[in-house]
């Protein structure tokens, strides 16, 4: 597995099953080992996962006192923060409910309340809510009346197939709110019907408010798509532990035939299969063998799984300044480079408007193409020049991005790996 030694040590400590194995794993660890583990856990947003692991295994007596005190401090801070987040979530859910606007809670908000046994065991940064598209305008008006403001330009009359939610809604001293109408951009090659999500949604309680959530099967598929495809395997290993926790808790009552049917309907079999492979490789939690076979009867080259593990294990800043477009630029010929540059600069007025928060009908819109050239140059000129100059590290980063692109093409069914 293409992980560093500190990461491997942390993964080994966090591996399922969580009962009965902690003493043998912690006994060889010296104080400097614990310092390295804590540093790695913080770097990878897994400090709370480590605390949870030790709690389940009754490992308080197995670790140095200062380690346990540090973990408890992080846990208590997360608990306090999430109490505030949930308080705000309750107010929003009640307001929407009183207006007759239906809601499905998504991602972190649901994980904290309905998957993890305590709210302090998993942090989340914003409130993600799914509303029916026909109620989106009412939901936006309601939130604006409560002081929330769109963070950038949004045209409700446009199709907006390249986004899945309104621009983030912001309010001073309040968590960011994202109102979704879909769980994935509609221009992606997956057939996710919002109507089906609503039909299968289940009742739940969030922050004391009765609302709805995706059913277990849709929720698991959403987590897989969100991390493995949409975030290009770059959201951090914590996402795999989220999925592992869902599997551990709900394995026996998961309707696997329903999950398989939905994955097939969405065209997400490869994404789901690869995600389950990653979960097994990192956490030790395995999906049923027959499910894996049904998801991908033809199997896959093991190199695809190895590449995905390498991608998932990379830190966000590992290839700073490199993007899929820069990687494509490095591989393109002269005319291909020119074409790519034109495509990246001259994006549609609508997308440019969202990027710079300007009305696309404004006569000033053309000026913002100059601003885009300036900004792209500032962000990527150095990396682009390093690639053109043939610097080994930059070329390795470009190869890494190209590998990610090949994986995405394979997941979409449009390429081989």
**Cβ-based neighbours of 258, under 8 Å, separated by 6 or more:** 217
Scored b (16 or more CB within 10 A) or e, 54-77 reads bbebebeebbeeebbebbeebbee
Q: So what's the pLDDT on residue 395?
A: 85
Nearest alpha carbon to residue 78 among 115, 43, 107, 46: 46
Mean of per-residue pLDDT scores for the chain: 92
pLDDT at residue number 318: 52
What pLDDT does residue 382 have?
Answer: 87
Q: What is the pLDDT of residue 316?
A: 57
- Report how far residue 327's alpha carbon sits from residue 276's, in angstroms, rounded to the nearest whole number: 27
> How many angstroms separate the CA atoms of 241 and 18, rounded?
12
Give the model confidence (pLDDT) of 84-140 as tens digits.
999 999 999 999 999 999 999 999 999 999 999 999 999 999 999 999 999 999 999
pLDDT by residue for the chain (417 residues), tens digit each? Answer: 568 888 999 999 999 887 667 888 888 889 999 999 999 999 999 999 999 999 988 888 889 999 999 999 999 999 999 999 999 999 999 999 999 999 999 999 999 999 999 999 999 999 999 999 999 999 999 999 999 999 999 998 888 999 999 999 999 999 999 999 999 999 999 999 999 999 999 999 999 999 999 999 999 999 999 999 999 999 899 999 999 999 999 999 999 999 999 999 999 999 999 999 999 999 999 999 999 999 999 887 788 999 999 999 987 555 555 677 776 666 677 777 788 888 888 999 999 999 999 999 999 999 999 999 999 999 888 888 888 888 888 888 889 999 999 999 999 998 887
Tokens encoding 273: 């299969």
Please provide residue 30's backbone torsions phi and psi, each rounded to the nearest 5 degrees: -90, 165
Tens of pLDDT, residues 188-215 = 999 999 999 999 999 999 999 999 999 9
Residue from 225, 234, 232 nearest 267 by CA:
225
* 167, 151 contact by CB (below 8 A): yes
Domains of the chain: 5-63 (no CATH), 81-313 (3.30.460.40), 324-412 (no CATH)
Q: What is the pTM (predicted TM-score) of this model?
A: 0.93
| pLDDT in the model for residue 384 | 82
In this prediction, residue 17 carries a pLDDT of 82
Phi-psi region of 187 (alpha: psi -120 to 50; beta: other; left: phi over 0): alpha
């Amino acid at each position: 597995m293409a992980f560093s030694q500190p990461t491997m040590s942390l993964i080994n400590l966090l591996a399922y099953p969580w009962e009965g194995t902690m003493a043998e794993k912690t006994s060889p660890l010296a104080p400097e080992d614990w310092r390295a583990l804590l540093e790695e856990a913080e770097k990878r947003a897994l400090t709370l996962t480590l605390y949870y692991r030790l709690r389940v295994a009754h490992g308080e007596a197995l670790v140095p006192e200062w380690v346990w005190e540090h973990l408890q401090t992080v846990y208590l801070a997360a608990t306090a923060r999430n109490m505030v987040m949930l308080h705000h979530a309750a107010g929003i859910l009640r307001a929407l409910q009183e207006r007759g606007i239906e809601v499905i809670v998504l991602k972190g908000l649901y994980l904290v309340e309905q998957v993890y046994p305590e709210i302090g065991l998993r942090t989340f940064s914003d409130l993600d809510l799914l509303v029916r598209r026909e109620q989106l305008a009412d939901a936006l008006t309601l939130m604006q009346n409560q002081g929330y403001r769109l963070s950038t330009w949004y045209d409700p009359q446009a199709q907006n197939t390249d986004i899945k939610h309104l621009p983030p809604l912001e309010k001073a001293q309040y968590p960011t709110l994202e109102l979704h109408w879909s769980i994935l951009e509609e221009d992606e090659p997956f057939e996710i019907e919002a109507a089906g999500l609503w039909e299968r949604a289940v009742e739940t309680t969030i922050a004391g408010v009765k609302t709805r959530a995706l059913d277990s099967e849709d929720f698991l598929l959403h987590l897989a798509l969100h991390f493995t495809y949409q975030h290009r395997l770059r959201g951090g290993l914590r996402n795999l532990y989220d999925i592992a926790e869902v599997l551990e808790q709900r394995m026996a009552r998961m309707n696997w035939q329903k999950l398989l049917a939905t994955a097939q309907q969405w065209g997400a079999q490869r994404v789901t299969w690869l995600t389950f492979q990653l979960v097994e490789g990192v956490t030790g939690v395995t999906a049923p063998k027959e499910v894996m076979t049904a998801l991908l009867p033809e199997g896959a080259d093991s190199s695809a799984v190895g590449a995905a593990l390498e991608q998932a294990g990379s830190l966000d800043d590992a290839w700073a300044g490199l993007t899929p477009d820069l990687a494509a630029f490095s591989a393109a010929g002269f005319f291909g480079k020119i074409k790519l540059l034109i495509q990246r600069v001259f994006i549609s007025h609508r997308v440019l408007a969202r990027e710079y928060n300007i009305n696309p009908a404004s006569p000033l819109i053309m000026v913002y193409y100059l601003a885009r050239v300036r900004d792209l140059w500032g962000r990527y000129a150095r990396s682009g020049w390093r690639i053109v100059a043939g610097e080994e590290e930059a070329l390795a980063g470009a190869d890494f991005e190209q590998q990610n692109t090949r994986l995405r093409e394979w997941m979409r069914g449009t390429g081989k790996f």
